[in-house]
Amino acid sequence: MKITFGTDFGCCFVDLGKTRVMAQVSSELVTPKESRPNEGIMFFNIELSPMASPAFEQGRQSELSVKLNRQLERCLRNSKCIDTESLCVVSGEKVWQIRVDVHMLNHDGNLMDAASIAAITALCHFRRPDVGIQGDEVTVFSPEERDPIPLSIYHMPISVSFAFFQQGTYLLVDPCEREERVMDGLLMIAMNKHREICSIQSSGGIMLLKEQVMRCSKIASIKVSEITELISKALENDKKARKAGERCGFAESMPQERITALKMDETPVEMTDVTEKANDIVHNADAPPQMVPSPVVPIPGVGQVGQGVQSTWGLEEDDEGEEEENDNSGEEQDEKVTRMEEEKLESREGDVVEISDSEEEEVVILNPEKVSKNTGYTSHHKGAAATQKRKRK
């Protein structure tokens, strides 16, 4: 496990194997609840971003996020690890709301343990602004005016997860993402270093014996004491570094000249006689290799692609035949188009009516006959031609 802190107070990063979690604590003055006017408000939020795992969706709360939120609230809020009455500024009017945002940066299993460690470490590292009250006025002082005040924390509950395999035959502490996929059941125990169980939850529908739960609680007490000591050391080292003015937070975790190069020595480059050296290199270089002729493709449909070799696919004859067919069809279409254009010009010069359903079909031309006064056939024919001309327009 690795614990690092950000530049501001209340920002914490926890690396549990390949699982990486960031916790950020913020505070705000709000109106208290009517049922508890003298107590501050604790709010927890867990974000499962697609950056952590492709299985997580953006902007939608999944069952896993709701489950982790409830377990984190049960572990930290219901265990009364933080003195909420100390967050009261004016009874019934102004109290501090402490918001803990936990972001999953990389998911490799055991998110609950990493989230609980990051949340309680960020709460221990957080400093809220100092407040002054004069009559009905509430003044919030900046960190430059007055030193921020840490939260009063009674104990540090830490969650420890146990995975069971083959109906409880095998027990595994801190399962990874692959082990979580194939496990039969999961047992989470939240405990502090005083061996007090803050919350316990079993999931997966597996039946556990009393001896198994007692064994898990003993293992959890040892793990919690080790993790609590590690958190205390990390907080103490960060406090010393900030007091001495040394590098802390992101600056400490970032190796110099690896991510950002502040100053680099100049590299001497000899620029004299460049042309002569280049000519010598070209003159002394080996001759380029001979080009390999393209072998005959034995079976049609087999392709050959190589550097310096013409790509052949064994379909040259078919391609040539298709090209000839395409050329012949294109010439036929051009002849049809020219024929139709000539007919259109003729129709414009004389009163010729054309009837054509499509371009590919043959064009039928109706020539108007001379008007005859004796018979009514020509007039009828002329009327039909006029209607066809009107339809075409």
DSSP 129-178: PPEEEETTEEEEPPTTTS--EE--B----EEEEEEEETTTTEEEES--HH
Distance CA 156, CA 372 (A): 116
Sheet with 170-173, edge to edge strand ranges: 170-173, 158-165, 185-191, 197-203
| CB 135, CB 157: distance < 8 Å | no
Q: Which residue has the tokens 């208290």?
A: 32
Strand partners, 95: 30, 88
| CB 64, CB 48: distance < 8 Å | yes
The pLDDT score that the predictor gives to residue 166 is 87
Burial of 211 (0-12, 13-18, 19+ CB in 10 A): exposed
CA distances from 114 to 11, 15, 202, 227 (A): 14, 7, 18, 11
| CB 96, CB 28: distance < 8 Å | yes
The pLDDT score that the predictor gives to residue 273 is 78
The pLDDT score that the predictor gives to residue 277 is 83
Distance CA 288, CA 309 (A): 15
Task: For the chain of 393 residues, list the mean pLDDT of each consecutive stretch of 10.
Answer: 88 90 92 88 89 82 87 88 88 89 90 93 91 82 85 91 88 90 90 90 85 91 93 90 73 53 62 80 77 58 58 53 56 66 57 50 57 48 52 54
The pLDDT score that the predictor gives to residue 251 is 58
The pLDDT score that the predictor gives to residue 375 is 47
The pLDDT score that the predictor gives to residue 308 is 52
The pLDDT score that the predictor gives to residue 267 is 66
Smallest CA-to-CA distance from 180 within 386, 291, 19, 383 is with 19
Count of CB atoms within 10 A of residue 54's CB? 8
The pLDDT score that the predictor gives to residue 32 is 87
The pLDDT score that the predictor gives to residue 191 is 92
The pLDDT score that the predictor gives to residue 378 is 47
The pLDDT score that the predictor gives to residue 331 is 60
CA distances from 131 to 24, 31, 87 (A): 21, 15, 11
